[in-house]
Structure 1
Amino acid sequence: MRAKASKPRARSKPDLAKVHDRVLAWFEEHGRSFPWREHRDPYQTLVAEMMLQQTQTGRVAPAYGTFLAKFPDVRTLAHAPAMEVIQAWRGLGYNRRAVDLQRSAQAIEHEYGGVVPSDLKALRALPGVGDYSASAVACFAYDRQVPVVDVNVRRVLSRAARASDELSLDETRRVAAEWLAPGEAYRWNQALMDVGAMICRIDKPLCAQCPLKATCEYRARGLNKGPRPERRPKQSPFEGSSRQKRGGIIDHLRDTAGEGVSLSVLAKVIHPNGHKDLTWLVELLEGLEREGLVEMTPGARRGSARGIVRLPG
């Protein structure tokens, strides 16, 4: 009679104090260098975190310094013409974030005397600031002892603590709170981000180099050597998408300064045969206007070929 296969023995919980020591020691030697890590200024941290939403660090780094040179503080940004803020956002994509950032600066100016709040609830109430950005500002600017969970941290904790490629966000937050290094949230959160970006990659994780290798559940179960999980379905192609057209509209309006451009000219720039029927363009522009990214003359709203569109003043 065949013996029953034995279940894998449950591993004991890791010694988190040792985990913290290993990860923080690795971070001291290998942590990435970014301009937003060179200070703890709340305003500059808010700018960085808004830019880093859905945009790679390599694109953010050069734009960050240029933006701060033009808008060095809350008051300057709050009172700047919206057109200048949108122009300064060139190259970062998702242009609505520029409007949200300026509106956040205006709210901070009016409601908090120009001082970025440290309270998580107050931060979340700012335009365009969600749970991640609020936690990042609270931690990195004010040293609040809170976990900061981005996609890299989520992957690291999912694998190391639960042998999963992706825990639910709620479960990840529970693990992040449990694993938070006491009194070291500032360095710990950044260390986990860097482990995720540099070591615990989606494909071909470099487990032998990982500071968590001794206690990682994912590695202990051999999941790092097995077939990779199926990726989520890819987003719709960017080429020819509404998102591409929206970005093209804003980029062309940036080049026209404040003069604006007619619908007929704009349509030809965005789509070779787009001037034959302007309905598609008006629909895109109406969405951009609602978001505060463009201004349309009455003629443009009616779909007149001579109607003018420009960046907001």
Structure 2
Amino acid sequence: MNFYRRNYIEGLFLSSGVERSPDYTMENLVKILKDLRLIHKFNGYIHVKAIPGADPKFIYEAGLYADRMSVNIELPSEKSLKLLAPQKNKEDILKPMGLIKHSILESSEYKKKGFKAPKFTPGGQSTQIMVGATNESDLRVISLTEGLYNTFGLKRVYYSAYVPVVANINLPAIQTTPPLLKEHRMYQADWLLRYYGFKAKELLDEKNPNFDVDLDPKAFWALNNLDKFPVEINSATYEILLRVPGIGVTSALRIIRARRLCNLSYDNLKKIGVVLKRARFFLTCSGKFYGDKAMERGRLKNYLLDFESFDKPEQLSLFTQRGDLFG
């Protein structure tokens, strides 16, 4: 509380491993929440973890004092849960998600009708999925993500690259490098689902169940759908513009607004903020194509890879000396 009073922090994350039982643990979390809000007058942001298997009454009460709640799925399939976390089951995880969604909607409906209703997790709910602990495909992960957004109205799905810490025949070897780039690609794919209008089955399918980690997911999709390109910048809909590599939400909106006044030229696009080094292979301006290479997948991929040439992320070790980090 001293950190909060001194303005060192503005919020906190409240979580716990299961102690004795899910009910006992969740009840204790509720007690701490109430103490923070009612006794210590903590008005900052609180994100609390809902314990799978806990009595719904404890989860509901926690939602009355928390800004956001989360129930972590961790593993992307029931098979993985049974293998690596047999104490957990799908129903215990999904049930509190459903309760939280229902309570949020109920609170919102009361307010719409003019009734005074208690706030229930105004920041919504989220979850976390571990990446790389098992051999599930990227298609499985993003299909699960899409289902969670659609079914439970989640605000956010977080991804965490698995970092080996214990030796287990069912887990990657201790010396395995954490798949941090894969984690990054999952966040990018998640963004495409939420803001770019993509569906999981469009991004990947049974023939191509995994992303190419060397390319961002939208570029990967574009290379697999070259028959949809190039698109005419002066007539393409907003939804189609969003699918062009190098065009984001902001630049797509700018294009829509700007072309109401006049036809856009190639130079106009640069001023608008389009990343032309990528986009020029997938669009035309008034019928003119500005790409300097044929629309052939292999050559185009090699060219796009030049823009993905950044230092690969790595998990730092507490025990490895890295003098280069300090100049």
Scaled by the length of structure 2, what TM-score is found?
0.25
Which of the pair is proportionally richer in helix? 1
Q: Structure with the greater relative contact order (CA < 8 A, sep ≥ 6): 1 or 2?
A: 1
Scaled by the length of structure 1, what TM-score is found?
0.26
